[in-house]
Structure 1
Amino acid sequence: MAAKQFEPTLASLLDYECPTWFRDAKFGIYIHWGAYSVAERAEWYVRHMYMEGHPDYVHHCKTYGHPSEFGYKDFIPLWKAENWDPDAVVALFKRAGAKYFTPCAIHHDNFDLWNSRHHRWNSANMGPKKDITGLWREATLEQGLRFGVTTHLARSYSWMNTSKGADKSGPRRGVPYDGADPEYRDFYHEPHPDTDRRQPSNAPESWRRQWAARIKDLIDNYHPDHLYFDGAIPFRGQDYGQTGMEILAHLYNDSMAQHDGRQEAVMCIKRGGGTHGVYVDGVATLDMERHRADEILADPWQTDTSIGPWGYRAGAAYRPVQELVHELVDIVSKNGNVLLNVPPKADGSLDGETVARLEGIGDWLAVNGEAIYGTRPWLTHAEGNVRFTRKAGTLYVTALEWPEAGGTLGIRSLAHGEGISPIAEVTLLGGDGTLRWGQDQDMLRLVIPETLPSAHAFSFRVEFATP
């Protein structure tokens, strides 16, 4: 009997269940890469370059010229991706320990990074002249990772509307920016007054239909197992999420067609207080941008975050490996996943600082991944600087900070008593000797060995006498 199809209704979409592969994966990689990377000032440059007085506007005028003469469209021929090697990049992501890769397929800039059927402004037709999403997908599947895409298109209609303005002072006062030119209306959108930096306050039907057609095209051609809207369900206003629900149903049904009737797709949405669309619990998986839950959540969830800026910014400071590892450990202990963004340069290469962080995370996961992958939350997620996860009858204890060698780490949550069985064995993951430990009615005491097997955080496997 054929699997029941999803319908674009709340009643039907509430049948969504987060797939097991996602719950087991825990760690994915994400990228922001596009024509905006040429300017090396991150992805919001596209909006800010048209805002008189903004530092990006000042930089743009000095470096490229006034936006009436050199607009965002003029970056597209400069984006050549000449050093892009998707196979090598995805191999590095696998080396970093990622289990899924979810590149940005379309940002707010309205430039599709695939061979789009509905939009001439795309990477197969212009700029790199490559099906970026298709080549990413091939490389990802070759490495045995799950493939996803993010689409930030919904807010483009209002977000890019700064391109139709003009200076209010100075020698170019009143001269329209290039977005006002009718020749480029299909890129910069039709004239309208909404300049909201979030989703348009009340998107017209023409934009809702175009958005849906392009996202369906993306799903039909690349069959993602992971999709993220960078918002809630489009669109807010009179649509009240109906258009977005069509896409959710389409994604889930496509997934069942690709996986012998199993729904394997993960749809991630943000809450966003209404400005990002319509949020409904239970129809998708919750995403928190650069934020995390304070406690264990019953349902799986995801944090999307970055090593630094989302898009490449020359000279940007990146977060240290230890901070990234601690974030991963904490989020996993609360039933979450981490989708970590790294920003490629315009030419498709990753800078040395990015590579170092990915390799550092990979080194840590190579030793401690048993305490991360395939785990579920324990009774509590934390005690001080210790985090807990479990896998069947095994408990994992990951310490974020340590006493000096020969000192003792005490864990009161594992005192022998009501609800806690006697412990049979404790092993330091990656350790090369017998660990000294003891359990009594006050706590579990671990004697810190002289040599630790990894940096940043350290994981123990705890086996109980009565699982």
Structure 2
Amino acid sequence: MKKVVTIVILLVFLCIKLNAQENGVHQQSTVYEWPKDMLVKHKLDNWQDKKFGMIIHWGLYAVPGIMESWTLCSEDWIDRDSTISYDAYKKWYWGLNKQFNPIKFEPGQWARAGKKAGMKYLVFTTKHHDGFAMFDTKVSDFSIAKGPFSTNPKADVAKYVFDAFRKEGFMIGAYFSKPDWHSQYYWWSKYATADRNNNYDIRKYPWRWNQFKNFAFSQIGELMHNYGSIDILWLDGGWVRPLETVNAEVLSWGANIPKWSQDIDMPKIASMARKAQPGLLMVDRTVHGEFENYQTPEQKIPDAQLSHPWESCMTLGGAWGFVPNDQYKPAGIVVHKLVEIVAKGGSLLLGIGPKADGTLPDEVFNRLKDIGAWTALNGKAIYNTRITKNYNSGQTWFTQSKDGKTRYAIYCLNTDEKPMRSISWQGNSPAKGTPVTLISTGKKVDWKDVNGKTTIELPEGLSGDKANIALAFEFMPDAEN
């Protein structure tokens, strides 16, 4: 009977629509505060050079192949079978730690695939909202290093992930969920778990909340002290925040806001973390202020260019983690998003999810390979660039070198676009008499400018090649541009 119930639960939750995840999406802050620490400023500038990163969601949810963590949360948008008790589901979900045994875990393959795709930085989920740690934490038994994988030499998963990506030259980011739904200090079993927030009045039980603050501080401390050089502390769960930071913007999300403050003392955390990791970038998502060193709009691109640092985090497929039969975006769509994001001043953090055995789906490798075919030839127009005032003209997006002496124009080809003899854009004219180079070939192209409209004569054989899903050009800009 128990086996039948488990199968029913699996079938129910494998059928949850992936777009339900939109309810957990973090919106973008509308206020930005530049850092004052010179080491942080230097690292932030270095991060802005990278432009393209990988975020990996991997945890218990990979075992049944379902949406990450959120099915534990009792909110209206979570669609569960009413014949299955909520408590039974939580017990089943957290019991997946006894099954999670990724014996094919080889992070070097992930890192090499990311590098070939042109990715330059990593964000790895050391712990998601469900509280399951993907590192060998000493303050909890609920981790990958305590279950059936504990005897494996790579049981301290985060260490080996960070080491593998560091070896390939990546900046290293540690994702950490501020809420922890497994902790009795956050979701206390004395009360029902009504939603994503902590489920008791902190004002009545300050001791319990202080225990949670100590718990979060300790786990972040482990990550900052025991895992080598860390460049980014990427904190998720923006509803865990001081009450005074809850403004009209936060209320517009539609999530329930408690009457008490879920303050975990970010100044104390930042002081400890930056003492261990000087210049560390803090990304306290959506909590505008000194600990949100760059903004993180999720699954979308801002409508207009932004002059401060930001990153659009998007999934390669329809889910953050692994789900069976996921539909992955074609390389052309990813490249076009990357181009638009960079022209608007941001970076693209692309999400993938390994399977429960530790391998990546073949489709993920194939997509990353195809993306890399473009970045390998055209990366000059993406990496180490900065924004231009006039950043878009139809299908063409513009970037420039950091010194402003070189301009780049990137024309995004439609997937069904027929071979063309020429393309045009308005504004961003090349300086008169100077060459325009097609970056993918290194060859000069013929061009003309009439009343601010630049027309490029294209060589034959460009359309239909995966490396030419977007055409990048290099030129010296006219002084009036």
Matching of residue 96 in structure 1 with residue 117 in structure 2: yes
Query: 1:199 & 1:413 partners in 2: Cα distance?
Result: 53
Alignment-mate amino acid for residue 158 of structure 2: T
Query: 1:70 & 1:282 partners in 2: Cα distance?
Result: 35
TM superposition shift of 1:218: 1.4
- For residue 260 of structure 1, what is the aligned residue in structure 2? none
Matching of residue 335 in structure 1 with residue 342 in structure 2: no
- For residue 134 of structure 1, what is the aligned residue in structure 2? 159
Alignment-mate amino acid for residue 116 of structure 2: R
- For residue 299 of structure 2, what is the aligned residue in structure 1? 290
- For residue 269 of structure 1, what is the aligned residue in structure 2? 284
TM superposition shift of 1:186: 7.9
- For residue 398 of structure 2, what is the aligned residue in structure 1? 388
- For residue 247 of structure 2, what is the aligned residue in structure 1? none
Query: 2:33 & 2:297 partners in 1: Cα distance?
Result: 24
- For residue 6 of structure 1, what is the aligned residue in structure 2? none
- For residue 330 of structure 2, what is the aligned residue in structure 1? 320
Q: Is residue 67–residue 321 contact of structure 2 (8 Å, CA) maintained in 1?
A: yes
Counterparts of 1:230-249 in structure 2 under 5 Å?
230-232=236-238, 234-237=240-243, 238-239=260-261, 241=263, 243-249=265-271
- 39, 57, 70: which one aligns with 2:64: 39
TM superposition shift of 1:426: 0.4
Q: Is residue 426–residue 461 contact of structure 1 (8 Å, CA) maintained in 2?
A: yes
TM superposition shift of 1:255: 2.2
Change (3 A) 1:230 1:283: closer
Matching of residue 397 in structure 1 with residue 409 in structure 2: yes
- For residue 169 of structure 2, what is the aligned residue in structure 1? 144
Q: Is residue 122–residue 171 contact of structure 2 (8 Å, CA) maintained in 1?
A: yes
Change (3 A) 1:93 1:366: same
Q: Is residue 121–residue 187 contact of structure 1 (8 Å, CA) maintained in 2?
A: no
Matching of residue 73 in structure 1 with residue 85 in structure 2: no
Alignment-mate amino acid for residue 24 of structure 1: D
SS at match of 1:414: coil
Query: 2:335 & 2:34 partners in 1: Cα distance?
Result: 38
- For residue 275 of structure 1, what is the aligned residue in structure 2? none
TM superposition shift of 1:396: 0.5
Q: Is residue 132–residue 142 contact of structure 2 (8 Å, CA) maintained in 1?
A: yes
TM superposition shift of 1:455: 3.1
Query: 2:115 & 2:353 partners in 1: Cα distance?
Result: 16
Matching of residue 305 in structure 1 with residue 314 in structure 2: yes
Which runs of no fewer than 5 residues in structure 2 stay unpaired? 1-31, 203-208, 244-259
More displaced stretch, 240-249 vs 381-390: 240-249
Alignment-mate amino acid for residue 285 of structure 2: K
- For residue 389 of structure 2, what is the aligned residue in structure 1? 379
- TM-score under structure 2 normalisation? 0.77
- 417, 422, 427: which one aligns with 1:413: 427
Counterparts of 1:4-23 in structure 2 under 5 Å?
15=37, 17=41, 19-23=44-48
- For residue 108 of structure 2, what is the aligned residue in structure 1? 87
- 205, 223, 230: which one aligns with 1:218: 223
Change (3 A) 1:202 1:232: farther
Q: Is residue 234–residue 282 contact of structure 2 (8 Å, CA) maintained in 1?
A: yes
- TM-score under structure 1 normalisation? 0.79
- 345, 360, 377: which one aligns with 2:370: 360
Alignment-mate amino acid for residue 282 of structure 2: M
Matching of residue 209 in structure 1 with residue 214 in structure 2: yes
TM superposition shift of 1:266: 2.1
TM superposition shift of 1:12: 11
More displaced stretch, 305-314 vs 230-239: 230-239
SS at match of 1:19: helix
How many residue pairs match? The answer is 411
SS at match of 2:297: strand
Change (3 A) 1:440 1:239: same
TM superposition shift of 1:136: 0.7
- For residue 460 of structure 2, what is the aligned residue in structure 1? 450
String of CA shifts for 1:396-425, please: whole Å, max 9, x gaps.
100012775453222221347xxxx43511
Query: 1:83 & 1:436 partners in 2: Cα distance?
Result: 52
Query: Percent identity over the alignment?
Result: 23
Q: Is residue 192–residue 199 contact of structure 2 (8 Å, CA) maintained in 1?
A: no
Change (3 A) 1:283 1:77: closer
SS at match of 2:115: helix
Change (3 A) 1:352 1:59: farther
Query: 2:113 & 2:388 partners in 1: Cα distance?
Result: 31
